[in-house]
Amino acid sequence: MKPWKNLTANDLYKGIVRKLSLEPTKSKRGREPIYWYLLDGKKALRISMPNLHGGSGSITTGYLKQIRMALKLKTREFEELVDCVLKAEGFEAKIRDRLDN
């Protein structure tokens, strides 16, 4: 297995939050912001993202894995999403397929 890429919070916001138009939650319970992926207007996936103001360092592999699992993606698909290879429409198709099974 190859090592994870060095990703910062900024990379994740550009590649995930903006691209997928994630909805932020209204409540402020923890340190990290929580977002929802909406599918047909309903909350489908809950994603905890790193705080943008936490620094410019790389995100830990454990946290990246947590985000990847929340998005229901395989490692390669997650990297493609962040690298802008996987588009929002492709992600939606994968999620529809995975939530139906």
pLDDT in tens, 34-85: 999 999 999 999 999 888 776 667 888 899 999 999 999 998 999 889 888 8
Residue 53, in any domain of the structure: yes
Residue 4, in any domain of the structure: no
Residue 22, in any domain of the structure: yes
The string of pLDDT tens digits covering residues 13-26 is 888 999 999 999 87
pTM for the structure as a whole = 0.84
Residue 1, in any domain of the structure: no
pLDDT for the residue numbered 26: 79
Cβ pair 57, 12 in contact under 8 A: no
pLDDT for the residue numbered 15: 84
Separation of alpha carbons 4 and 66, rounded Å: 13
Residue 3, in any domain of the structure: no
Copy the structure tokens of residue 57.
């360092």
Separation of alpha carbons 50 and 9, rounded Å: 6
Residue 2, in any domain of the structure: no
Q: Are strands 42-48 and 23-24 parallel, antiparallel or unpaired?
A: unpaired
Domain count, the chain: 1
Instruction: Work out the angle at residue 86's Cα, subtended by the Cα atoms of residues 74 and 31, and round it to the nearest 5 degrees.
Output: 65
